[in-house]
Amino acid sequence: MMQESALFEYVMRLSDDSLILAQRLGEWCGHGPILEEDIALTNISLDLIGQAISLYDFAAEVEGKGRNHDQLAYLRYENEYKNVLLVEQPNGDFAMTLLRQFFFDAFRLPLYEALMQSPVEQLAAIAAKSVKETRYHLKHSSEWVIRMGDGTEESHQRAQAAIDHLWRYTNELFYEDAHDHALQAAGKVPSMAEIQAKWMATVTSVLQEATLEIPKNNWKFDGGREGRHSEHMGYLLSDLQYMQRAYPNMEW
């Protein structure tokens, strides 16, 4: 029972990260700087929604209370969402969106690669399917970071400003608590220290090529994993949940 509770919490975090970031990326639909990127960002959003559905379905199965993915996605209060603060931050300009995406992709890829080896078969299967999409997501975001950082004076300045702003949210990606430790002890999920080392290697390599700098301050914002969110989350959820709240149990 203890491990089932831990697994439910773990999978819900993965689900919430995907859902909330998908919502943010979907806000670019019709507003991209060029048509190709308008399509790319919204397609990445759709990939993340697909991952969220699979993860919520698995979480509902583990929970065993008869809830489905729509109920888990739409019918919870703000403090019940366990996504990291990074993914709920506003889109800002194109540089802010792409740096947020890059930091997240560089985290998600090694995590999914490790989860492919999990003895939890359904979790491993979801990771195996999602890792193909996530490799593309990281390729897309990292190439844009390099292009902006090593581009014009303005693109470099905007990219560095995005890094300086978002860096304080990245430490929370590697949050661990008793749930994580129980699953790690059982060999079901990887250590976040292992994932963080791979994340840092990717981030360092890409930012060096982009002629961008890692901030030297030690500010660390967290709370999302514990259900304490930024002021932006409530507004995001009011958009995300509107149709289900207004028309309960509706289906497309």
pLDDT the model gives residue 2: 63
pTM: 0.96
- Asked if the model's pLDDT at residue 1 lies above 70, the reply is no
Looking at every residue in the chain, the average pLDDT score rounds to 95
pLDDT-derived band at 248 (thresholds 50, 70, 90) equals confident
In sequence order, the 6+-apart residues with CB closer than 8 A to the CB of 79 are 227, 228, 229
Name the DSSP class of 119: S
Say what percent of the chain tops pLDDT 70: 99
**Cα separation of 154 and 239, whole Å?**
32
Q: What is the pLDDT, as a whole number, of residue 87?
A: 98
Give me the pLDDT at residue 232, please: 97
171-227: per-residue pLDDT in tens? 999 999 999 999 999 999 999 999 999 999 999 999 999 999 999 988 899 999 999
pLDDT of the residue at 99? 98
List the domain boundaries for the chain: 2-217+230-246
* Confidence label for 252 from pLDDT (cuts 50, 70 and 90): low
Q: Tens digit of pLDDT for each residue in 145-155?
A: 999 999 999 99
Q: Is the pLDDT of residue 35 over 70?
A: yes
Question: pLDDT by residue (tens digit) across 98-133?
Answer: 999 999 999 999 999 999 999 999 999 999 999 999
Query: What kind of fold does domain 2-217+230-246 have according to CATH?
Result: Ferritin (1.20.1260)
| Closest listed residue to residue 167, CA positions, set 92, 110, 220, 224 | 220
Looking at residue 20, its pLDDT comes to 98
- Write the CB contacts of 75 (distance below 8 Å, at least 6 apart in sequence): 241, 244
Task: Provide the pLDDT for residue 38.
Answer: 80
Query: Letter for the amino acid at 126?
Result: I
Percent of the chain, pLDDT > 90? 89
Q: pLDDT at position 119, please?
A: 97
**Orientation of helix 2-26 relative to helix 178-185, angle to 10°:** 120
**Among candidate residues 137, 31, 49, 166, the one with its CA nearest the CA of residue 94:** 31
Note the maximum CA span of the chain: 56
